[in-house]
Amino acid sequence: MNTTNQSTSSITYEQNNLQTRYKYWDKMDIEVSATESYGDLPMESLFSVALRVNKKRQFLFVSKLIAKHLAVHPSIALGTGSLLASLLMEKAGLKPIPQHKKIVEMIESAKACLETSHESLAYRTALPDKTVFIGMAETATGLGHSVFHHFDEAAYIHTTREEIIGASPAFVFEEEHSHATSHKVYAPAGMLEEADTIILIDDEISTGNTLVNLITALDSQFPGKKYISLSILDWRSEGQKRKLEDMAAARNLTVDVLSLLKGEFDLKHSESPGETEIAELKGSGQKTPGRSMQVQAIELQSATGQRYLPFTGRFGLSSSSHSEIGRWAEQLAKTVPASKKPLVIGIGENMYLPLRFALALGGDASVQTTTRSPIFAAEEDGYPIKEKVRFKLPDAEDVNQFLYNISRIDADRIYLLAESVADEASWQPLISYLEKKAPVEWLVLTDKK
């Protein structure tokens, strides 16, 4: 085992092929071990670990694949969904996506391949059962959609933290350790009732409690379904696995769990780091958004007047409707100034459309989305989150949002994708910050009221 002291003993990073130990100052000591990995993907190609400013859980597995806390090439983020789709295909007795080995190579090397991405995205099949895919907000909405992309004759919806005026969620469940615990699902009538199999997609399973809560809530209202969980990481201990098995047995359910990496973590010590409160972004300007290639919003909206795209899947999406997204992204990309190194920034739960738009832009693209998750930032070698900014989510009810490591991204133009814009002034602080890095194209995706 090689030990590297990367910063005057404040950070220690120890690693061998199947085990990594992270020691961050006196705040965290955690050891993670892999027992099974799809295509022998190494742990360091999938995630790093950071400290969270959260008393409920003081650490976070920071994904290198999903374009949330760290910027990634859209081919890598979309390819991650393709690998999970391949797992599901093989589970159902179908052939995997032909490019799955090339995608593994792309993720391991962190080198995007547009040809592999376009070829793999063209592959679609149908599952034998009537299937609904559910992606978990906020980090796995794009991942869930990337899996669903490969399946015909199915439906997709993602959980949301949004409060929708005039609509009642089909069900609600809790994620106790999160900074925003309540998930709502606004499924259209018949979607969940008529499903035979429900696929639950998240970036990681840490303890399995959220998965148990979700299946319990679903089975209480829509009994008799088969369940499959898909995730990049599965860290459950044997005891935590038994908890899910016991729940399934008590309810007479079939629950399968598939992931790209299985392992366990041993948290020896962690505490929420003290942090000086960072000021909210300030700034004013007169920038107005581009409104070409807009899509007619659905009728529902939030209390603050936020409007919603039909493409995101927040209110349900069929396989046939999904096919429009690729064409929309290609057409939108033709309306904006070209860039050799585009950075596309999405907002909150809207993750998949920025990925498809960035892929359509071509070049050495990267994508990142704003997040509610408060992560500790430190200028230390070996620590993944170097810097952060905080701002209020525009057109929302006093919700903190964060962006990480933006100044370290190599980009010559930024494309800020807003699902809707009700109050243009509330967006100016974020835009002023981004304009210090590169010219900003501000795009609104829904039509005006």
Nearest 5°: the CA angle 98, 47, 380 is: 145
CB 23 within 8 A of CB 11: yes
End-to-end CA distance of the chain: 61
Phi-psi category of 220—alpha, beta or left, where left has phi over 0 and alpha has psi -120 to 50?
alpha
Give me 242's structure tokens: 């038994």
Nearest 5°: the CA angle 322, 326, 331 is: 130
pLDDT in single tens digits along all 449 residues of the chain: 233 333 333 555 555 558 899 999 989 999 999 999 999 999 999 999 999 988 778 899 999 999 999 999 999 999 999 999 999 999 999 999 999 999 999 999 999 999 999 999 999 999 999 999 999 999 999 999 999 999 999 999 999 988 899 899 998 887 664 444 688 999 999 999 999 999 999 999 999 999 999 999 999 999 999 999 999 999 999 999 999 999 999 999 999 999 999 999 999 988 878 778 889 999 888 899 998 788 999 999 988 888 999 999 999 999 999 999 999 999 999 999 999 999 999 999 999 999 999 999 998 999 999 999 999 999 988 999 999 999 998 877 778 999 999 999 999 999 999 999 988 999 999 999 999 999 999 999 998 76
- pLDDT the model gives residue 43: 94
Of residues 311, 356, 360, the one with CA closest to residue 335: 360
Coil/strand/helix, residue 1: coil
Reported as type and span, the H/E element at residue 244 is: helix 238-251
Give me 335's structure tokens: 């309306």
Reported as type and span, the H/E element at residue 171 is: strand 171-174
Which residues are paired to 402 by β-bridges? 371, 390
- pLDDT the model gives residue 275: 78
Give me 422's structure tokens: 């009700």
Greatest CA separation found in the chain? 61
Those residues whose C-beta lies under 8 Å from the C-beta of residue 257, and which sit 6 or more positions away, are 205, 211, 228, 229, 231, 234, 241, 244
Domains of the chain: 78-262 (3.40.50.2020), 321-444 (3.40.50.2020)
- pLDDT the model gives residue 411: 97
CA 205 to each of CA 17, 92, 263, 296, 374: distance values in angstroms, whole numbers, following the listed order = 22, 22, 10, 36, 19
Q: In terms of DSSP H, where are the helices of 92-152? A: 100-109, 114-121, 141-148
- pLDDT the model gives residue 375: 95
- pLDDT the model gives residue 17: 56
Of residues 146, 61, 78, the one with CA closest to residue 113: 78
- pLDDT the model gives residue 175: 67
**pTM over the 0.75 mark:** yes
Of residues 347, 396, 388, the one with CA closest to residue 367: 347
